[in-house]
Amino acid sequence: MSRLVILGGCGAVGSTAVRMLAPTDYFDEYVVADKDIEAARKLSSELGEERVKAAELNADDPQSLRDVISSASVILNCVGPFYKYGPPILEAAIEAGIDYVDICDDLDATEAMLAMDGKAADAGISALVGMGSSPGMANLLVKFTAETLLDQVDSVDIYHAHGGEDVEGPAVIKHRFHSMEIDIPMFLDGEYKTVRLFEESGKALEEETDFRDVGTYPVYGYPHPETMTLPKYIKGVKRVTNLGLVIPVSYAELIKSMVRLGLTSDEPLEVQGEMIVPREFAVAFVISRRDGLLKEAGIDFPRGCLKIVVKGSKDGDPHSYVFQMSSSGMGMGEGTGIPAALGAIVMGQGKIALKGAFPPEADVNPMDMIQLAGEIIKSSGKGDSAPIYIEHIDKDGNVETVDLKL
């Protein structure tokens, strides 16, 4: 019996993956593992307890983790924040000898997990790290362009904007804080460089970008792994950047203010006789203000868009391709959860042969994922095909829409 265990299966991303997968026969059984066992049981009951099981997971307890994954054919890890939970969960998967997929977009966690490549290969497993939207589909669309549309890729600029999901828990907020606090890697002028969000190096990259179905927003540097991994697989590329924003802008600015003011420290402070961790206060405050800011924005939520601009040459002439995956009714949950589900499927189908720990562009066939996305979305009633909008700009500046004919 094939069994997919979804760790963090009740979160915004994990639950989306479960809901997309539950009606399918790609696995014989799906296990929703979450710290909130009652929520897991409710989701299991809703989707059909015969094929969707519930399990309690304490990601801080190594034995709990080992017990939950012991019967898995494939593990799909959606437990955040990844800078805390990514490496130890992959370590457990390696020890158990079970193929692994995750949605990690934390740079430092990705580096730590990719450093486990040798251990994973020795254990005979495939560990696909970062199979969400960005990273994930972004990497594969760049790979598709390099292999199919252009002779040479010169630059890759990745943009993302999303917001308004029904739930945004503490792990997501902490991830946002973490992303603003650390050095942000970019690949500029053929070299790896780092920038800081609030310093001139980071401000120099900020720009306004138009997102299909979402709107025009200012975006800033994000420490996503594509800027580190794509240059290793796309030969000759000179620039890879990643810029993004959580919307509405007022919400993004609130989060940035918490970091700018130093309220995201883990060093406890005494406040009226009580020891308070500033980061925990900041998380609670952001969450308390979120609904009001969403309402004030006057925008229909959730909504999100991933945009990739790839520039290069074909037959000696300059060409550009602009990919956009957008929805005015779907946010981070769907944008990340659907690719995560697809990654688990191709892993379960044996279409990923490489052993070790690696990013999507190392051994995932882009067309497998694009075609599978169309099938899953169509069967779920969410559309007729994969929602990928592609524009081609030729050497004369002419713009045409590209149809993948899936």
For the chain, domain boundaries: 3-132+332-380, 137-331+386-391
Cβ neighbours of residue 319 under 8 Å, at least 6 residues apart? 149, 150, 311, 312, 313, 392, 393, 394, 395
| pLDDT at res. 184 | 96
CA 221 – CA 198 distance, rounded (Å): 10
Q: Which CATH architecture has domain 3-132+332-380?
A: 3-Layer(aba) Sandwich (3.40)
The CATH number of domain 137-331+386-391 is 3.30.360.10: yes
Q: Profile the chain (406 residues) by mean pLDDT over runs of 10 residues.
A: 96 92 94 98 93 97 98 96 95 98 94 98 98 96 97 98 85 91 96 97 97 94 96 98 96 97 95 96 97 90 91 98 80 80 97 98 94 77 72 97 71
Q: Give this prediction's pTM.
A: 0.92
Same fold, 3-132+332-380 and 137-331+386-391: no
Structure tokens at 57: 């997971």
Compute the mean pLDDT over every residue in the chain, rounded to the nearest whole number.
93
| pLDDT at res. 385 | 58
| pLDDT at res. 406 | 45
| pLDDT at res. 328 | 59
Contact by Cβ (8 Å): 75, 101 = yes
CA 312 – CA 269 distance, rounded (Å): 52
